[in-house]
Amino acid sequence: MEKIKQLRTQLSNLGIDAFLITNPQNRFYFTGFTGTAGIALITETDTIFLTDYRYVEQARVQTKNFDVIKYQDRNSLFVEVPEVINNLGIKRLGFEQEDMTFSVYSKYNEAIHAEMIPTEDVIESFRTIKSSQEIELLKSSAKIADSAFEYILGFIRPGITELEISNELENRMRQLGASSSSFDIIIASGTRGAMPHGVATDKVIENGELITLDFGAVYNGYISDITRTISVGTPTDEMRNIYNIVLEAQVRSVEAMQPGIHGKDLDAISRNYINIKGYGPYCGNSAGHGIGLNLWEEPFLSPKSSLTLKSGMVATMEPGIYIPGVGGVRIEDDVLITENGKEVLTHSPKELIIL
Amino acid sequence: MDIRIKKLVDYMELQSIDVLLITQPKNVYYFTGFLTDPHERFMGLVLVKGKDPFLFLPLLDAENAETISSVKKIYSHDDAENAYEVLQRYLPSNISTLGLEKNHLTVKSYEAVVDIANASEIHEIDELIQEMRLSKSQEEISKIKKAIEITEEALRLTLPKIKLNITEMEVVAELEYQIKKLGAQGPSFSSIVLAGEKAGHPHGHPGNRKIKTGEFLLIDFGVILDGYVSDLTRTFAIGQINDQLKDIYDAVLQANLQAITSVKPDKPIANVDISAREVIKSRGYGQYFINRVGHGFGMEIHEHPSVHSKAEGLLREGMTFTIEPGIYNPKLAGVRIEDNVVVTKDGVNVLSSFPKELQSLEV
């Protein structure tokens, strides 16, 4: 009910008298519905959930504060949903323009009498501040990632492939209670470390290589996202030097995370440090991103960032250096912003581990 | 020039399109061989009339794309830039007709693209690409076959691990572990493992329900390999089951076989559904077969054609789809038997070969 109340107080600010939720994660956040087809409609007085025959029963159980209405199938969606909206006499209907495709919008727009008003980041902005219940789930998810990392250190050795490592990691996370991995696991060894998104391949691990492991769990819908770079055998002086620069950049950035700091300024801390050390051109991606139900959500910590951190936000901090043809290093933690500062949710060691 | 890109170029000529933008990641893969999920970042294959096509993508995908993409011209944008503004630099200033995918672009991206292109007319290209992707090439079919082989092998390896009191989720974990060990990139959708009455819901979620003797275990899963998917369902008896359940199984099996027999080029797509439905109806279970008999698949788990009783159009050589009749009685049990087929020149080729006769698992 809290969320519905919160949204209703915003309707007039948004210049709308009803709001249509179509984004699956926003739908889950708002209604608790875990199926794959459904639309939530919130007006000043009504809360309606529309879904098809497959999910009607499920919706009745999961969406406590909503009246569930069935539409026949995907084809009648564009007739039956507009009918419900038209019957309520809605004048200005807000919709999620970052979720709805242009063709779906066109079909609705033809059949719905109300003016359709594009909105963005409405429910997403609620989602940036985590409730205590959500924080518990994020902590459990981070704990699974930490335990899996500790386990995988005993598994990695020269001669096995990146894919074998990612399979073992994923299986371990499931055994620890994860419903799945939160994204395609990145295992980038040797020169592949220069690819920030180097998903595991059948490349064989060799002695003297650094391996970047970037992975996380999904636990009751909530994700974790951790990166550690380790060395198999003795690393070269150059890679050790790069590692120490990234580590220092990451530690300084995490240290600075607290309510009131701007996302742009946080990104600049690691970027400037890496720059001073001479690796500026090799520091590609943004410093971090929010996590929750989604792997990428506000607050984005990048040079383009437009947010100031607040208590209850959870974000990754993951600076890196990527040198094509040579390799790369990234170190990433999940961090909760608290009233007085922060709490780091991932606890795996960050000093260079040499296997 | 690549034959698929050539088709786009010809189409642009025919429809007087100045710039064509392909943004759906699977479609970008179809035309370039480079597959990535850019998440919230912007990516597109761009064709400008009279110029070489180029791939426009996030900086962090650029290195990978350079090695893999058949379209060699690559421009990138980094996180600090507005992707649309960067894209504008590579577009001509006088675009009269812009082709794009309305089924993929969100309202927000659509507005941003239309704004920077400043085109006077928008041409929808979704159907053109859908049409191109409908009939699979030999190369695509062999990729699908490899995906199916891994699926069937994973199922074979998982069956001996199914023991009394194992949970649905534990079976899911084992299946997905096996498919990755066998080389798949991952499951093609959330694997479905449902025991007993839970299988009576066609889209139930696997949970902590334990497996017991005397009931069905429904396993519906698939893999993704080289960008192509499989989608297979088999239903097993756990120990001995009663005659009522055996009759349900047989009705579904006969419907599956009948539907496969009905597949021939130039016959109505709807016939496939109708022929399965007639079998199940004649056995007295009509009210429990509550969904379409199948769906196209290829790079995506749900593609065209949708195989239902009112489907329009004819079967065509190279179409790949599932045949998956089922009986779902939420109070009792559910059975689904799903194969993957391709329409051939004179009939059908069943790509999946896992045995379909009722198999009892000794637990």
The answer as to whether A247 is a domain residue is: yes
Residue A354 resides in a domain: no
The DSSP code for B39 is T
B184-192: average pLDDT: 92
Distance in angstroms (rounded) separating the CA atoms of residues B220 and B171: 11
Q: Which residues of chain B does A191 touch, with a Cβ-Cβ cutoff of 8 Å? A: none
Which CATH number fits the domain that encloses residue A48? Answer: 3.40.350.10
* Helix B25-32 vs helix B126-134: crossing angle, to nearest 10: 60
Contact A94, A18 (CB under 8 A): yes
Q: Tell me what pLDDT residue B202 has.
A: 81
CA distance A225 to chain B (A): 15
> Cβ A303–B59 below 8 Å, yes or no?
no
Q: What is the 3-state secondary structure (H, E, C) of A231-258?
A: EECCCCHHHHHHHHHHHHHHHHHHHHCC
A255 touches chain B (CB under 8 A): no
- Whether the CB of B158 is below 8 Å from some CB of chain A: the reply is no
- B64 to chain A, any CB pair closer than 8 A? The answer is yes
Instruction: Give the pLDDT confidence score for residue B187 in this predicted structure.
Output: 94
Say if CB A317 and CB A347 are below 8 A apart: no
Residue B1 predicted with pLDDT over 80: no
A167-177 pLDDT tens trace: 899 989 988 99
Do residues B109 and B23 touch, judged by C-beta distance below 8 A?
A: yes
DSSP string, B206-249: --SPBP-TTEEEEEEE-EEETTEE--EEEEEEES---HHHHHHH
Both A306 and A192 in one domain: the answer is: yes
Does A104 share its domain with A228?
no
Record: contact B63-A163, CB cut-off 8 A: no
Residues A254 and A113 occupy one common structural domain: no
The model's pLDDT over B116-153, given as tens digits with 9 standing for 90+, comes to 999 999 999 999 999 999 999 999 999 999 999 999 99
Under an 8 A CB cutoff, do A101 and B203 touch? Answer: no
B267 touching A, CB under 8 A? no
| A134 and A222 co-located in one domain | yes
Give the total number of structural domains in chain A: 2
- Residue A351 in any domain: the answer is no
pTM: 0.84
Given A127, A146, A165, which residue is the final one in a domain? A127
Q: How far is CA A238 from the centre of its chain?
A: 32
Do A189 and A312 lie in one domain? The reply is yes
Residues of B in contact with A35 (CB under 8 A): 203
Shortest distance, CA A86 to any CA of chain B (angstroms): 22
How far lies B279's CA from each of A114, B257, B290, B326, in Å? 46, 10, 14, 11
Largest CA distance in chain A: 71
Res. B348 pLDDT band, cuts 50 70 90: very high
Indicate whether A60 belongs to any domain: yes
Taking contacts as CB-CB distances below 8 angstroms, the residues of chain B near A175 are: 173
Domain span including residue A61: 1-127
Does residue A244 fall inside a structural domain? yes
Q: Which of B60, B183, B186 sits opposite A285 (nearest CB)?
A: B60
From A103's Cα to the closest Cα of chain B, the distance in A is 5
The backbone region for A278, taken as left when phi is positive above 0, alpha when psi lies in -120 to 50, beta otherwise, is: left
A36 contacts in chain B (CB < 8 Å): 203
Domain edge (last residue) among A94, A127, A160: A127
**How large is the average pLDDT for residues A282-289?**
87
Pairing type for strands A226-232 and A288-290 reads unpaired
A281 touches chain B (CB under 8 A): no
Using the CB atoms, write b or e for A307-343: b if 16+ within 10 Å.
bebebbbbbbbbbbbbbeebbbbbbbbbbbbeeeebe
Higher-pLDDT residue of B43, B201:
B43
Q: Which residue of A has its CA nearest to B292?
A: A73
- Residue appearing with tokens 């609705």: A108
- A158 falls in which pLDDT band (50, 70, 90)? very high
Q: Does the beta-carbon distance from B63 to A194 stay under 8 Å?
A: yes
At residue B330, what is the residue type? P
For A260-278, write each residue's pLDDT tens digit: 999 999 999 999 999 999 9
Q: Is B14 on the interface with A (CB under 8 A)?
A: no
Same domain, A256 and A231: yes
A64: buried, middle or exposed (CB in 10 Å: 19+, 13-18, 0-12)?
exposed
Residue A73 has pLDDT above 80, yes or no: no
Nearest CA in chain B to A168: B177
Residue B180 is predicted with a pLDDT of 87
- pLDDT for res B63: 85
Residue A285's pLDDT band, with cuts at 50, 70 and 90, is confident
Identify whether residues A212 and A71 lie together within a single domain: no
Stretch B9-20: mean pLDDT, rounded? 97
Does A276 lie in the same domain as A299?
Answer: yes
Query: How many whole angstroms separate alpha carbon B334 and alpha carbon B73?
Result: 52
Element (H, E) at B350: strand B348-350
Q: What is the pLDDT of residue B320?
A: 98
Q: Is some CB atom of chain B closer than 8 A to the CB atom of A91?
A: no
pLDDT the model gives residue A315: 98
Task: Count Cα atoms within 13 angstroms, Cβ side, for B200.
Answer: 15
Instruction: Delineate the domains of chain B, giving CATH numbers in brackets.
Output: 3-133 (3.40.350.10), 135-361 (3.90.230.10)
User: For residue B69, which of B90, B51, B45, B89 has the smallest C-alpha distance?
Assistant: B45
Average pLDDT over residues A4-13: 95
Would you call A64 an interface residue with chain B, using a CB distance cutoff of 8 Å?
no
pLDDT at residue B188, rounded to an integer: 96
**B-chain residues near A99 (CB < 8 A):** 106
Interface of A with B in 119-178 (CB under 8 A): 120, 163, 166-167, 170-171, 174-175
In a domain, A349, yes or no: no
* Average pLDDT over every residue of B346-363: 97
Find out whether A286 and B79 touch, Cβ atoms under 8 Å.
yes
What are the C-alpha distances in Å from B191 to residues B173, B203, B218, B245? Answer: 9, 11, 11, 24
Preferred mutation among B180, B288, B301 to probe A, highest tally of A CBs within 10 A? B180
Listed in sequence order, the residues at least 6 apart from A233 whose beta carbon sits closer than 8 Å to its beta carbon are: A158, A207, A208, A209, A354, A355
Q: Which chain B residues contact residue A101 at CB under 8 A?
A: 102-107
**What pLDDT score was predicted for residue A332?**
98
Looking at the structure, do residues A120 and A133 belong to the same domain, yes or no?
no
pLDDT over 80 at B292, yes or no: yes
Task: Tell me whether 0.85 is exceeded by the ipTM.
Answer: no
Q: Which residues does B8 contact at the CB level (< 8 Å), separation at least 6?
A: B20, B31, B47, B128
Please tell me if residue A36 touches chain B, with a CB cutoff of 8 Å.
Answer: yes
User: Of A92, A127, A162, which residue constitutes the final position of a domain?
Assistant: A127
Which neighbouring-strand residues pair with B216? B237
Look at residue A350 and tell me if it is in a domain: no
At residue A306, the pLDDT reads 84
Residue A215 lies in a domain: yes
Residue A202 has pLDDT above 90, yes or no: no
- Give the tokens for residue B69: 């993409």
A277-284, Cβ contacts within 8 angstroms, sequence gap of 24 or more: A277/A245, A279/A242, A279/A245, A279/A321, A279/A323, A282/A321, A282/A322, A282/A323, A283/A319, A283/A320, A283/A321, A283/A322, A284/A196, A284/A320, A284/A322, A284/B59, A284/B60, A284/B78
pLDDT for B247-282, tens place per residue? 999 999 999 999 999 999 999 999 999 999 999 999
**Is the Cβ–Cβ distance between A335 and A200 less than 8 Å?**
no
Residues A106-146 pLDDT 10s: 999 999 999 999 999 999 999 999 999 999 999 999 999 99
Based on the domain organization, do A39 and A161 belong to the same domain? no
- pLDDT, tens digit, for every residue of B56-90? 999 888 988 999 999 999 999 987 789 999 999 99
Stronger pLDDT, A338 or A163, i.e. the higher one: A338
Say if B312 is an interface residue toward chain A (CB within 8 Å). Answer: no
First to last CA, chain A: 52
Interface check for B96 against chain A (CB to CB < 8 A): the answer is no
Q: Specify the CATH number for the domain of residue A180.
A: 3.90.230.10
The whole-angstrom distance between A252's CA and the closest CA on chain B is 21
Q: Give B181's pLDDT tier (boundaries 50, 70, 90).
A: confident
DSSP annotation of B352? -
> Does B22 have pLDDT greater than 80?
yes
Mean pLDDT of B301-314: 96
State the Cα–Cα distance between residues B319 and B348, nearest whole angstrom: 10
DSSP string, A58-118: HHHHH-TTSEEEEE--TTTHHHHHHHHHHHTT-SEEEEETTTSBHHHHHHHHHH--SEEEE
Instruction: Please choose, from the candidates A81, A70, A72, the residue with its C-alpha nearest in 3D space to the C-alpha of residue A105.
Output: A81
pLDDT over 90 (residue B362): yes
Q: Average model confidence (pLDDT) for chain B?
A: 95
* The pLDDT value given to residue A118: 97
Q: Are residues A172 and A310 in the same domain?
A: yes
User: Per residue in A288-337, pLDDT tens?
Assistant: 999 999 998 999 999 888 899 999 999 999 999 999 999 999 999 999 99
Could you tell me if A95 and A177 lie in one domain? no
Q: What pLDDT shows up at residue B321? A: 98
User: How far apart, in whole angstroms, are the C-alpha atoms of residue B276 and residue B260?
Assistant: 9
Partner-chain contact B64 A195, CB within 8 Å:
yes
CB contact under 8 A, B106 and A97: yes
Cα distance between residue A155 and residue A152, in whole Å: 5
Query: Which residues of A are less than 8 Å from B108 in CB distance?
Result: 97-98, 118, 120
Do B130 and B304 contact (CB within 8 A), yes or no?
yes
pLDDT at residue A196, as a whole number:
86
**275-304 in chain B: CB under 8 A from chain A:** 290-291
State whether residue A55 is helix, strand or coil: coil
